[in-house]
Amino acid sequence: MARPVYLDHAATTPMVPAAVEALTKHLLEVGNPSSLHASGRHARRVVEESRETIAQALNCRPGEVVFTSGGTEADNLAIKGLHWSRAAELGPAPRLVSSSVEHHAVLDPLHWLSEGEEAEVRLLGVDGDGRVDLGELAALLAERAVSMVSVMWANNEVGTLQPIEEVVALAARHGVPVHTDAVQAVGAVPVDFARSGVDALTLTGHKVGGPYGVGALVVRRELQLTPLVHGGGQERDIRSGTLDTPAIAGFAAAVELAVKQQAEHATRVATLRDDLVRGVRAVVPDAVLNGDPERRLPGNAHFSFPGCEGDSLLMLLDARGIECSTGSACSAGVPQASHVLLAMGRSEADARSSLRFSLGHTSTAADVAALVEAIGPCVERARAARI
């Protein structure tokens, strides 16, 4: 069977050999990093060396790296933990500001806090390219007490890079901490924790060539976080639970390599992405490229195909061995339009007609050529199915 043409690296990317080697090296070793005997101390050394590796790659202090089970937990810890800590000094239900195009790992905890009347959540609007409205942010910060601002570094659907430094500058005027979900950004664009000025940053292993089920919240040591999980007091008492030593070692190896190779990787996949965009537009002239045409992730190409249902088009491509994703969610078997495209001002039909093609470290020119060859006939069939 031929290898699938995998164009869904934004969902997860294959593990790199360095991460596989680091992970498997420690799988047969015994030792809880919290134990005081020799095996425990060895496991602890692996964890702390991994923490130092990640800190060096992201330009933060090792003590600022808090290991989690992945991006979703890290986002929840940042939003709930920081909001709860700040609410104690700001009073009941302070304002919490985020953007309307965040991943659901951010939007859902925001909704949960709002439903419980623990926060007044305000979501920033975006322009047609998906960039947040800085004027609206300035107004929301000036109106009343804000517990925190959370704006993603790069959008997971359309690839738009957000103006994080400007967001930080506005929030700093009011003494408001900023969290950013940088899950899509690390390894794709330069990410420097200290230079960015953010107070908390989310990353995860499986987006950078590491294992599933491991990630981190990088958070300034001066910042108080209320833990979500209580137990043994691991990770500065912010995130209790026995640490997964092999996964953390694999995670660190992947982060180190991704950051080291970021510039070369970005150049290579951006070239492939540009070829993909030109090829798709040549065979489907009315296809619409979504997201900021300049400030975007190098491996992201997100299209709307007028007259198509994105889900149908995805399955037609899948039948030809080409794997990508829609920007939509699916609830109880019913496709839903992408909230990101709706926030960008697109119609319901446009939002349901979209596909995301995302390239990564295993992508090749042959992958792009296979998509370009297949997309025309698949679009024709998807349009015919709606007649």
Tell me the per-residue pLDDT of 21-38, one tens digit each, with 9 for 90 and over: 999 999 999 999 999 999
pLDDT in tens, 118-156: 999 999 999 999 999 999 999 999 999 999 999 999 999
- CATH hierarchy code of domain 5-13+262-386: 3.90.1150.10
Does residue 387 surpass a pLDDT of 90?
A: no
Q: Is 132 left (phi over 0), alpha (psi -120 to 50) or beta?
A: beta
Residue 133 CB contacts under 8 Å (≥ 6 apart), including other chains = 124, 125, 126, 127
Give residue for tokens 């007649």.
387
Kindly report the backbone phi and psi dihedral angles of residue 202, in degrees, each rounded to the nearest multiple of 5, phi listed first: -100, 135
Question: Crossing angle for the helix pair 38-58 and 245-260, nearest 10 degrees?
Answer: 20
- CATH hierarchy code of domain 17-260: 3.40.640.10
Expressed in angstroms, the distance from the first to the final Cα of the chain is: 34
pLDDT in tens, 174-193: 999 999 999 999 999 999 99
Element (H, E) at 51: helix 38-58
Query: Quick one: tokens of 216?
Result: 């981190």
Q: d(Cα 207, Cα 181) in Å, to the nearest integer?
A: 12
**pLDDT band for position 329 (50/70/90)?**
low
Q: d(Cα 323, Cα 243) in Å, to the nearest integer?
A: 33
The DSSP bridge partners found for residue 186 are 189
What are the helix and strand counts (H, E) for the chain?
A: 13, 14
Does residue 331 surpass a pLDDT of 60?
A: no
**pLDDT band for position 327 (50/70/90)?**
low
> Is 330 an active-site residue?
yes
The residue ranges of every structural domain in the chain are 5-13+262-386, 17-260
From the list 60, 308, 324, 330, the catalytic residue is 330
Q: How buried is 132 (Cβ within 10 angstroms: 0-12 exposed, 13-18 middle, 19+ buried)?
A: buried
Does residue 332 surpass a pLDDT of 80?
A: no
In this prediction, residue 386 carries a pLDDT of: 74
pTM above threshold 0.75: yes
Q: Read off the pLDDT of each residue in 157-161 and give the average, rounded to a whole number.
A: 97
